[in-house]
A and B are shown apart, each in its own frame.
Chain A
Amino acid sequence: MAGIDLQVGMALNSFSQVAIISPYYERPRLLPQQIAAANLTVRHSKQPGVLSNTKFLLQDDYFSPSLSSIVVFGNTDGFGDNKSKDHQASLKIQEKWKKYLLDPSSPVDVDSISETIEYIYDQISTNGPESIDLNGLDAHKVNGEHLAAILRASSMWKNSVSGWSAAITVSFDALVLAEEDPLDALAGLI
């Protein structure tokens, strides 16, 4: 186990991504979200620029003695006031569209589906499609219909939405698990 000072003051949440920059790797290596969540202990600073008390502890083979830095992106807690406010607003919108997404037993009536779509539009118009991250979703833990709705609502920006293509497969699998017809919910998307 080893500790590394983080270079930027950010908090890790479920939609953050962690990259390792190391001479061992040709390019920054993305740490799978579940590994990041399991193996990183984060004490994050709320003060912009005060980073020394933010430390990641790594316990697996992603760590090597030559590791030079870790970059966490996807969450800007601890930065300037305006950025922080924008980010808080963004997080609130994310919470809204993830509400039904992250519960396989969510209602799938037209009003719930519309709600998810509406919040995706809010997220896109407020923070851009790049702010939507669909990486790391687990077919057993998402609602396939709501994910399909998110994919349809964001389909015009699919090249900007991180994890969009992979999420098609997740939605397909989640719909099969729920004994729904994936070719219905994903019509025109696959």
Chain B
Amino acid sequence: MAFTCAADIDLPKEKVAIALTGGHFGSHIGIIYHSVNDGMQLVHLAWHQLLLSENFPLKSGECWVASIANVTPAASKQLVGVVRGLSKHLPKIKYGVNFLAAQNSIKPDGSYDPPIGSDGLTCATFILEFFRAASLRLIDEETWKPTEANIQWANDVCDLLAKHGADAVHVDHVRSNIKGLRVRPEEVAASAENPRASWPVNFITAEKQAVKVMTSLQNICLV
């Protein structure tokens, strides 16, 4: 299923959708699902220690694109159960760049228990960890490649953390982890469009498919 305007998405109750919008660092990602009592919700790591679950579409009128995650029917129902549980707790999750050290940070009961060495998650790696908490591995992190642009991005993240909400110890921790690696929101979004049987998706595939996702976002929201 291709990414379409999220406000118009026909999301069955037993499915989750991956949603993408423009963001400070290019794009921003979250998960849309149906709660039991409060209708459609968007859960996303908005910033350092700011995990939100909000009524969707957002009151702000922000434009998002979305696509239903390509998960088989029974597993998809379980995924909805896991995201509902997680959204009840909304733990304070640090914002950080080292996604390799952050694996298994989120427990399916909604608790956040980062392993030693983890500096936190981004909006994109939060989605990866959500899937991992449900025993679904979306991407093959080991295949991700470092770039110079990612080093610049990570430095920008540190500068923004220093200005908004993070203490010096955390900023130093994140800065010490800058290695040029980054999982972009659009790469996560593209990966979730692949059939579950082809997960975990490797970097080359995700990077290639991410271009199409960004084109959808540009055409629908950013024109």
Contacts and interface: CB of A to CB of B under 8 A. Distances in A.
B79 to A, nearest CB: 8
Given A155-B135, A156-B133, A189-B135, A148 B78 contact: yes
Contacts of A183: 72
B107 A185 contact: no
A75 B187 CA distance: 49
Contact of B75 (A153, A155, A188): A188
Interface residues of B, number: 28
Contacts of B136: 187-188
Contacts of A145: 74, 77
A110 B108 contact: no
Interface stretch (B22-30, B80-88, B210-218): B80-88
B14 interface: yes
A13 B190 CA distance: 49
Which has the most chain A C-beta neighbours within 10 Å: B75, B81, B108? B81
Contacts of B209: none
A81 interface: no
Given A118-B84, A121-B85, A152-B135, A113 B109 contact: no
Interface string B154-180: 000000000000000000000000000
Nearest to B108: A153
A153 B77 contact: no
Contacts of B77: 108-110, 113-114, 145, 149
A30 B135 CA distance: 31
Contacts of A156: 104, 107-108, 133
A174 interface: no
A130 interface: no
Which has the most chain B C-beta neighbours within 10 Å: A110, A125, A156? A110
A113 B110 contact: no
Contacts of B84: 114, 117-118
A180 interface: yes
A169 B34 CA distance: 31
A121 B111 CA distance: 10
Q: Which 6 A-B pairs have the closest CB atoms?
A: A117-B81, A185-B74, A114-B81, A121-B109, A184-B72, A110-B14
Interface of A: 108-111, 113-114, 116-118, 121, 124-125, 145, 148-149, 152-156, 180-181, 183-189
Given A118-B85, A152-B108, A185-B78, 4 more contacts: A114-B81, A155-B135, A187-B75, A188-B196
